[in-house]
Each structure stands twice: as C-alpha cells, then as structure tokens.
Amino acid sequence: MSSADGTYDVVVLGAGSTGENVADTVVRGGLSAVLVEEHLVGGECSYYACMPSKALIRGTEALDEVRAVSGAAAAVTGELDVTATLERRDTFAHHWDDSDQVAWVEGAGIDLLRGTARLDGERSVVVTGPDGGGTRLTARHAVAVCTGSEAMVPPVAGLADVRPWTPREATGAKTPPRSLVVLGGGYVGCELSFAWHALGSRVTLVQRMPRLLPEAEPQASDAVLASLRDRGVDVRLDVDVTAARRDGDEVVLTAADQEVRGEEVLLATGRRARTTGIGVETVGLEPGEYLDVDDTLQVRGVPWLYGVGDVNGRQLLTHMGKYQARQAGAAIVARARGEEVRAGDWSPHTATADHAATPSVVFTDPQVASVGLTSAQARDAGLPHRVVEYPIGSVAGAELFADGYEGTAVAVVDPEREVLLGVTFVGPAVAELLHAATVAVVGEVPIGRLWHAVPAYPTVSEVWLRLLETWRG
Ligand SMILES: Cc1cc2nc3c(=O)[nH]c(=O)nc-3n(C[C@H](O)[C@H](O)[C@H](O)COP(=O)(O)OP(=O)(O)OC[C@H]3O[C@@H](n4cnc5c(N)ncnc54)[C@H](O)[C@@H]3O)c2cc1C
Ligand SMILES: NC(=O)c1ccc[n+]([C@@H]2O[C@H](COP(=O)([O-])OP(=O)(O)OC[C@H]3O[C@@H](n4cnc5c(N)ncnc54)[C@H](O)[C@@H]3O)[C@@H](O)[C@H]2O)c1
C-alpha cells in the first residue's frame, strides 16, 4: 500500500518488535502504514538483546539439567563447546542481517523506509535517508513513536572514556573476554554474568544496591546470588563505584574501599528513552524523557501521537511492547473509524496488564519467573495481602525433574477478594510454569475456583496445589 506523496494513515518511527506490531495491527484494521528504520528491522530484541543473550545461556542450562539427573549425568563427559555456542548465538541473531524481517514487513502490506526519522510539527515526520536525502511523511491519523531505549551510562568519573561494553557488545562478542566486570545487578547484569562466566570469562559483578534483582521477591535475589557465587562469579553488593580508568589492557573501577579490574566492563545499569534527536521538541515535549502516555498509549496532550514499547518506560520487555502495540493499534483504528475507544481496564484498547499483571523471566539458573505484584509492591500500594510460600523441591514432579531440586514459589494473595495479586517462581526451568500464573492473575480467578484447576501428576505444576493447601492452612 505505497503512497506517492508520502501521506499515510499511520507513520511509525522505529521497526523494532513494537513498531512492527503497531504497523501490522493498523494494516490489519484497514489503514495504510509506513515503518521508518535507521538500523536493523526487528530492533534490539532480535539482534542485541533477548535472542542472542538467551542463546548464550541455553547450552549451560541444558547441561545443568542433564547433570542434575543421576544416570543421565554420566552421559555428560565433555564441557560446553564455546565456539559452537557462539555460532548458535550468531544464527539466532540472523548474523545481524534483517532480510527475513524485511520480507515479513513487505508480506504484511507495510511500507518500509530506511533512514533516521524525526518529528517536525503536527503529524509530520522528516526522514533522512542513508544517502543524506530527505523525505517528508504526513500522517492522516497517527504517528507512533517506537524508538526504544538505550543503555544508560551512570555518572561515574571517566567511565564513558574507558570504552565500556553496552549490552550490544556483550551479546555480540566474538570471543569470551579473559575477565569481565559487570556493573549493575539487574536483569542484564545477572543474565550476562551467568552467560559469560559459563563461557570461560572471570566475572566480577558489582551491584550498587544491597541485593541483586532489587525489584524481585527477596527469595529470588538470594537464590540467584547464591548460585552465581557457587559457580565462581565474584559478586560484590552495596558497592558505589566512583571512578573508572584504563590501565594497560585493563579497566579499573574504583570505590571507596576497593578496586575492581577486568579486560572489559559491561554497563548493565538500566536504560534511558531514545527520544533525543527525534524532534519531540517540535510538538512541545522534552527530549531525553520517556514519553508520558495514557493506557491507550496516546501521548498526554498530543492526541495524534502515540508512544509504544520501551520508549514510554512502562515495562521494558519485548512481549509487553508487542502487547502495547496491539492495544495502541486497535485504539488508532477505532479512532480513525470514529468508533468509541474504551479507556477502562482490560478493554481491547488499553494496556491494563502493564500495571499489575506483567510477566517476566530472568534467565539465570535458577530462573526467576514472576507476574503481577511482589509482596513489597502490594505493601507499598496499601493493598491487603498475605504471602504464601512453598518449596518447589518438595513436589514429586520437581524431584523427578532434577535430583536435589531447589526452588521456591511465592504467591501474594488478596485475602479480602481471595484472588492472586502476584506469583513468583524461583528454580530450574520455572519459566514454563509462568503462564498459568499470568492467566490466574489477569483473570482474577477466585481461589475457590483454582482448586478445580487440578495439576497433572507428577508435574512441577503440582506446586499450585501445595500453594492452595498452604493458603488454606
Ligand atoms: C541484554 C538484554 C536482554 C533482554 N532480554 C529480554 C528478554 O529476554 N525478554 C524480554 O521480553 N525483553 C528483553 N529485553 C528487553 C527488550 O530488548 C526490549 O524491551 C525490546 O527490544 C523493546 O522493543 P522496542 O521495539 O520498544 O524497541 P527497540 O527494539 O529498541 O526498537 C527501536 C527501533 O527504533 C529504531 N530507531 C530509533 N530511533 C530511530 C529514528 N530516529 N529513526 C528511525 N529508527 C529509529 C532503532 O534502530 C530500533 O530498531 C532485553 C534487553 C536487553 C538490553
Ligand atoms: N529476561 C528479560 O526479560 C530481560 C533481560 C534483560 C533486560 N530486560 C529488560 O531490560 C531492562 C534493563 O535491564 P538492566 O539490567 O539494564 O536494568 P535494571 O533496571 O534491571 O537493573 C539495573 C541495576 O543496576 C544497578 N545500578 C544502577 N547504577 C549502578 C551503578 N552506578 N553501579 C552499580 N550498579 C548500579 C541498579 O541497582 C539495578 O539493580 C530491564 O528492566 C528489563 O525490563 C529484560
């Protein structure tokens, strides 16, 4: 559905997983759309984040699973093949070639324009192409900004000058560094410390907070800390790095009472919105800030503008960006047709799950799989809640899965409404337990009805029954 004069129903800035899904949803709704991309179609997740990082981790996970089953463990007679693991990672990153994604975009009836886009006043976008030429695009109905986020460089003296790795370099490295200092103990810090340690690097993880994964249930932080330390990662908590410098072929980080050295240093200290240089000031917004949006992902005060995915800072996760894209796309189509947009919770046009039902998995071993509110979040929100905990390793399915299985399930229950506010599973391979919890939280399934959701024997899911029994007392 090409446009000779650059006018489309919807103009989408950024062809990451979010932008692709906004464009796809509006085209399915009968509108025309153009995607503008300055780098690789598919965005961060495909080439520099989710897929390559999980490919780095998966081999270690698979070996750990076999080594934990007496009898099968005897078949593991070698070590992880680092070269083959890195080659497998390369295939998951499509060798940083986006031709498959481009073919998908074309097949979906979406126009693609290569270049750097910036807003230029109301419903207007200027694109500077690879040859330096400019194209003006005009949107009849909506402009969706889906430009994502980038690694934040913390304000540590000298850090920007030591050529630190961002997650891009850390997921794409061609060989393991001899030693790696990981700054930050959140999702990226924990996963990539786990990955590169297993691939042969000496890893030091420096976390400013007193615990890893500070937003998670404490049981998760404790289990991931214990596992990383048992494996040989040097984890340092509560350390405030004040300066960085290069010393020969090493980077040196300095804190009040210690020094940490490594061949490379990885910044895993969070993200910032990619809203600088994209012309947001031409429509009255502040560059560098996350876009402030309502639940239909419409930018507050600018009704034709949408901010979807990482760029709004609501939930920096691929699946949540794609969910927001579907909801925003539906809202754009409805508004274009003059139909009513329902702004209430759980409507076809709102991203309600962002607030209290977001699922996520930290892919370390143990994995941390959680959805909804943690006990601390329920407390801070002033919600009535009771915490129910059960050791997953006591369930027959878990005993069969791995000898000496260690794990914990934590459920946060609203005792007045008798529904789940949140659930966290910590343990090997718990990621696949998560979706049942997501359905229970989103559906606000009453505890009384959950007793009828009978887990098959002997599966790890029997932990659900044990949680209900513990709740009943
Ligand atoms: C190491 C790492 C691992 C992760 N692992 C997971 C995981 O396992 N699961 C998960 O759910 N999430 C994971 N995430 C988060 C996930 O990568 C992001 O939430 C997701 O990529 C956001 O998608 P997006 O489309 O909003 O932004 P992006 O993927 O960043 O896409 C934005 C696109 O916009 C383009 N762009 C930017 N500015 C312009 C411009 N001016 N003009 C034209 N194009 C522009 C960019 O080139 C890019 O292609 C991980 C993140 C990191 C850093
Ligand atoms: N498996 C997944 O789904 C996955 C994996 C990776 C990233 N992500 C997404 O990407 C986002 C960004 O990940 P992230 O790990 O960069 O951010 P994060 O917010 O998860 O963690 C950053 C950590 O860095 C620490 N920190 C901040 N400044 C520091 C400093 N100066 N020195 C030492 N520590 C410091 C913080 O205490 C925090 O724990 C995540 O919030 C998540 O949404 C998801």
Instruction: Indicate which ligand has the atom closest to the C-alpha of 98.
Output: 1
Q: What is the pLDDT of residues 299-335, one digit of tens each?
A: 999 999 999 999 999 999 999 999 999 999 999 999 9
The domains of the chain, with CATH numbers, are 7-46+93-150+272-353 (3.50.50.60), 159-269 (3.50.50.60), 366-472 (3.30.390.30)
Determine the Cα–Cα distance for residues 469 and 299; give it in Å rounded to an integer: 45
Cα(312) to centroid of ligand 1, in Å? 12
Cα(22) to centroid of ligand 1, in Å? 14
Tell me which residues have their CB closer than 6 angstroms to ligand 1: 13-19, 36-39, 43-45, 49-50, 53-54, 116-117, 146-148, 167, 171, 188, 274, 278, 309-310, 316-319, 321
Report if pTM > 0.95: yes
Cα(39) to centroid of ligand 1, in Å? 12
- Asked if the interface predicted TM-score (ipTM) of this complex is over 0.90, the answer is yes
Determine the residue of 208, 311, 363 to mutate for testing ligand 2's pocket, defined as the one with the most ligand atoms within 8 A of the Cβ atom: 208
Name the residue at shortest CA distance from atom 31 of ligand 2. Answer: 154
Q: What is the pLDDT of residues 48-63, one digit of tens each?
A: 999 999 999 999 999 9
Determine the residue of 17, 40, 45 to mutate for testing ligand 1's pocket, defined as the one with the most ligand atoms within 8 A of the Cβ atom: 45
Q: What is the pLDDT of residue 1?
A: 43
Binding region for NAD(+)? 184-191, 270
Q: What is the pLDDT of residues 390-421, one digit of tens each?
A: 999 999 999 999 999 999 999 999 999 999 99
